[in-house]
Structure 1
Amino acid sequence: MGILQEKYHDPKAAAQTYARVLELEPENKFAWYNLGVLAQEAGRTGDARAAYDRALKADPAFPPALFNEALLLERSDPDQAAALLHRAVAAAPPAATAHLHLGRIWARRHLDREAAGEFRLAVAADPSLRSQVPEKFRDSPDPSSPSSEAGSDS
């Protein structure tokens, strides 16, 4: 019911439905996750993080909550975001979009070899993501080749 309410743009009713679910099942990861999505869409990042944390308390390997919380932290706390994305990849390979975001984190830190590897994994898992890979990394060499060096711009 809450998902339908979200679909039909009634976030207040959806939140009430999820709250009722949580009265019956306080550890329902889906209800916590969906409350997080509603809060994130409303720009309430603190509430979203708290809801994702509750979903992850119920299931520490719940990929949607790991991924969404990582997105919230990608700019403000890239180390924590990377840790969450690594957990998401471990929980649900191939996790193409998680690899894409890891690549972005490493690229911002000028860790080009790591970024290239993550972008390569993202595109291998979902070729449609190629257009989202920064131009610099679209045709980068294999990071395991002897001519590639860590931190290089190639």
Structure 2
Amino acid sequence: MSVRQIFGSLACGAVLLTGVAACSEKPADKPQASSSGDSDKASGGANTEPTPAELLQLGVEQGQAGNFDAAKVTFEKLVAAESTNKFAWFNLGFIAQSRNEADEAISSYDKALAADANYKPALYNKAIALESKAPTTAIEIYRKVVSIDNKSSTAYLRLGMLLSQSGDDTAARDAFKAAIRLDKGLTSAVPAKYRTSSTPAGR
């Protein structure tokens, strides 16, 4: 199974990330599909119990169609059958987060992370959910995200925002510098006081 089987993206604001260039300007209002290739395989035999793979695919399709209630039921069936399915837990977290149910979202992301401690989508979205209530923990998680993927420009950006709020200007400047180096399109999202000094000189 790969990340393409996730319907929920990572988030800006309170929900998504994949394919979103600049976080913090506007939260994405709909989940962005992370699936690619063939996701419309016919659902197997009429009266047979669906396999976990079929439940995952069905939940993804329901989520992509905007039917979150049905998708939630499907993913709940899946985790009842396969309690360590990180994709299902991630999507349950994503659905809860998109409904501003932060505690439920974090609980689901934790279950995804229990199955795979380095699962970046769950780490990233959990950090977003924790930004206002536990900024220090969110900073630690963003640091982990960029240690797993040092090309995660939006994680550097959000890390910089939190470091700036905490008063750590030096570390914030470094994070913003990394974000801009990876994606010049994020420059306008960086607070003005960091902008000139975070633009790499001579490169």
1:87 is paired with a residue whose SS is helix
Counterparts of 1:95 and 1:7 in 2: how far apart (Å)? 24
Residue 90 of structure 1 aligns with which residue? 147
Larger relative contact order, structure 1 or 2 (CA cutoff 8 Å, min sep 6): 2
Counterpart residue identity of residue 132, structure 1 = A
Residue 65 of structure 1 aligns with which residue? 122
TM-score, scaled to structure 1:
0.88
Residue 41 of structure 1 aligns with which residue? 98
Counterparts of 2:88 and 2:184 in 1: how far apart (Å)? 32
Residue 71 of structure 2 aligns with which residue? 14
Counterparts of 1:129 and 1:77 in 2: how far apart (Å)? 24
Shift of the alpha carbon at 1:141? 5.9
Matched, 1:4 2:67: no
Matched, 1:100 2:177: no
Counterparts of 2:109 and 2:77 in 1: how far apart (Å)? 17
Counterparts of 2:178 and 2:83 in 1: how far apart (Å)? 37
Summarize deviations over 1:123-146 as a string: whole Å, max 9, x none: 11122111111111111168xxxx
Structure 1 residues 141 and 39: alpha-carbon distance in aligned structure 2, compared to 1, 3 A threshold: closer
Structure 1 residues 123 and 8: alpha-carbon distance in aligned structure 2, compared to 1, 3 A threshold: same
Summarize deviations over 1:32-90 as a string: whole Å, max 9, x none: 00000000011111100100000111100011111101011112211100111111112
Residue 30 of structure 1 aligns with which residue? 87
List structure 1 segments (4+ residues) > 6 angstroms apart after TM superposition. Answer: none
Residue-pair matches, total: 143
TM-score, scaled to structure 2:
0.67
2:188 is paired with a residue whose SS is helix
Identical counterparts, % of pairs: 35
Structure 2 unaligned regions, length at least 5 = 1-57
Which segment drifts farther, 62-71 or 132-141?
A: 132-141
Summarize deviations over 1:69-127 as a string: whole Å, max 9, x none: 10111122111001111111122221111110110011112211111100010111122
Instruction: Decide whether the 8 Å contact of 1:62 with 1:91 is kept in 2.
Output: no
